[in-house]
């Protein structure tokens, strides 16, 4: 027989009812229980009953509903211990410690009370003959209060953990806000703190308007800079969100409507930033929650101004580095997009070698400067199509130390890394490289990575002094030079990620029109 559903009162309440599951193979027990509790109400919440007539139906309902507060559970149904097995399954397999279980039996001899209480995690044991209306009422009140308190404790712990995670992200991110990924990490941590602060769990996003966005905005006029919940998977905003974001921007204030909340962050610049939250729990936000959100909105504007200004500085720094790198490469007539490919190759290799996110990003940004010292190399040597003489080679090799001299002395991590790479990327793993004859791990890992990426890109593309090599010939050379010119771990990393590197190479080469 399928389960039935019955609400305890026709009166509608703004609060969700307590959900009670009755599991018993006698239909009269279901009817009597519902009648006895028909007008029951606790904390302005009525009851909603679900019914199952055997253990299989009970398990199905419990699988599909994770908010059942109380189960009235018969012991003897299709077997003498069917109810006990359901209780054991719920606690041990489903790991549900919140739902209260009142075991009921009409045959106490089948399941002695002391034995059941000791061996099964139930909350009360009653004979069916004991449960008159008064005792039933008392048992339900006690069970629901216990369920309520357990859920509050669990929710507090959940939000405390979420708050701590968000705070940890913010603390970690503020140690170095010069990296784009760290900035993203900061915003995600900030958003996590907001949702945990007001004790809600729904989808949300921190948003900024894109340059040129008009008074009326559309989806592509907004950029999501941090997200949680379903927005993470959709990576988009629905029409209602756009409508409310637009309204918040017009009034330059917060908008609170049904299950949507938009907070507007005051800004001293033209950049507009907003917080968007969506979920059924929005309707249950208290006045204190709303005040906290409004206070957050008023206080966070200046932080957004500073952080997004910092992001603009980062982009400007990256652009300047790339432009200077391109200027050097164009002078030496290197293949187009050489430094872009180098940066991407090095980032991939850094990830494969388990460098930290920060180190991978620094490596990627610093790589374009690896040959900056060539600005001092005469054209007659730099552009010579044939083999260099010994004297010319001495002059060419000077670019490594010159690059270091140009870039060293800065307090910026990217420029420090660029100086090391410029100086060491022609060192060889066996100590026969230049300018210092460094060997093995004495060569910085950044330089060891750049050495492999530089040779790979140089060989796979045409240069003024050579035609491109076949891929199999390049791999053969890399393997032959392992432990000589190249760090074996870096060569292995390149081979492991060869498909990704070839994909990047093809994409950036195609954009050159080559």
Q: Which residues are catalytic?
A: 374
The answer to whether the CB of 465 falls within 8 A of the CB of 386 is: yes
The answer to whether the CB of 414 falls within 8 A of the CB of 320 is: no
Q: What is the distance of C-alpha 239 from the center of its chain? A: 24
Q: Would you tell me how many other CB atoms lie within 10 Å of the CB of residue 337?
A: 22
18-23 and 70-74 strand pairing? parallel
DSSP letter at 372 equals G
The answer to whether the CB of 332 falls within 8 A of the CB of 383 is: yes
The answer to whether the CB of 33 falls within 8 A of the CB of 22 is: yes
Instruction: Name every residue whose Cβ is closer than 8 Å to that of residue 305 and which is 6 or more positions away in sequence.
Output: 267, 268, 269, 271
Measured CA to CA in angstroms, residue 353 lies from 13, 429, 446, 489, 498 at distances of 59, 17, 11, 8, 14
The answer to whether the CB of 62 falls within 8 A of the CB of 83 is: no
The answer to whether the CB of 202 falls within 8 A of the CB of 279 is: yes
Render 87-153 in DSSP notation, one character per residue: HHIIIIIS---SSEEEEEES-GGGS-HHHHHHHS--SEEEEGGG--HHHHHHHHHHHHHHHHHHHHH
Q: Which contiguous run of DSSP H or E holds residue 48?
A: strand 47-52
For residue 10, report the phi and psi dihedrals to the nearest 5 degrees.
-70, -25
- Integer Cα distance of 274 and 251 in angstroms: 13
Q: Which contiguous run of DSSP H or E holds residue 174?
A: helix 133-174
């Amino acid at each position: 027989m399928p389960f039935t559903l019955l609400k305890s009162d026709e009166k509608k309440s703004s609060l969700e009812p307590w959900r009670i599951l009755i599991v018993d193979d006698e239909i009269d027990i279901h009817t009597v229980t519902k009648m006895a509790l028909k007008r029951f109400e606790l904390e302005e919440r009525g009851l909603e009953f679900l019914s199952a007539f055997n253990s299989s139906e009970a398990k199905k309902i419990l699988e599909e509903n994770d908010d059942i507060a109380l189960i009235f559970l018969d012991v003897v149904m299709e077997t003498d211990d069917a109810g006990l097995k359901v209780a054991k399954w719920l606690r041990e397999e489903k790991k549900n410690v919140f739902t209260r279980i009142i075991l009921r039996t009409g045959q106490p001899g089948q399941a002695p009370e002391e034995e059941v209480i000791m061996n099964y995690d139930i909350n009360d044991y009653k004979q069916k003959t004991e449960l008159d209306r008064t005792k039933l009422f008392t048992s339900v009140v006690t069970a629901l209060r216990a369920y309520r308190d357990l859920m509050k404790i669990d929710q507090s712990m959940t939000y405390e953990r979420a708050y701590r995670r968000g705070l940890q992200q913010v603390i970690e991110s503020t140690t170095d806000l010069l990296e784009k990924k760290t900035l993203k990490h900061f915003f995600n941590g900030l958003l996590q703190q907001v949702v945990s602060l007001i004790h809600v769990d729904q989808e949300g996003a921190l948003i900024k308007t894109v340059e040129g966005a008009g008074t009326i905005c559309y989806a592509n006029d907004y950029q999501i800079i941090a997200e949680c919940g379903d927005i993470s998977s959709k990576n988009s905003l629905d029409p209602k969100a756009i409508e409310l974001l637009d309204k918040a921007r017009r009034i330059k204030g917060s908008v609170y409507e049904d299950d949507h909340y938009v907070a507007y962050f005051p800004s001293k610049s033209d950049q507009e930033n907003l917080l968007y939250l969506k979920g059924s729990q929005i309707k249950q936000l208290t006045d204190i929650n709303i005040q906290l959100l409004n206070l957050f909105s008023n206080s966070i504007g200046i932080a957004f101004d500073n952080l997004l200004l910092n992001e603009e500085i980062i982009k400007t720094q990256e652009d300047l580095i790339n432009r200077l790198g391109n200027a050097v490469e164009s002078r030496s007539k290197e293949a187009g997009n050489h430094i872009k490919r180098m940066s991407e190759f090095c980032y991939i290799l850094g990830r494969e070698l388990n460098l930290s996110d920060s180190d991978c990003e620094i490596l990627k940004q610093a790589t374009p400067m690896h040959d900056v010292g060539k600005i001092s190399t005469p054209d007659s040597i730099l552009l010579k199509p044939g083999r260099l003489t010994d004297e010319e080679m001495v002059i060419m090799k000077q670019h490594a130390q010159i690059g270091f001299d140009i870039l060293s002395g800065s307090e910026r991590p990217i420029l420090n890394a660029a100086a090391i790479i410029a100086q060491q990327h022609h060192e060889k793993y066996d100590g026969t490289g230049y300018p210092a004859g460094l060997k093995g791990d004495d060569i910085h890992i950044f330089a060891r990575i750049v050495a492999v990426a530089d040779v790979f890109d140089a060989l796979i593309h045409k240069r003024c002094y050579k035609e491109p090599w076949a891929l199999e010939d390049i791999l053969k050379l890399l393997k032959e030079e392992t432990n000589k010119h190249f760090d074996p771990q870096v060569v292995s990393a390149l081979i492991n990620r060869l498909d990704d590197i070839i994909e990047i190479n093809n994409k950036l080469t195609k954009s050159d029109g080559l």
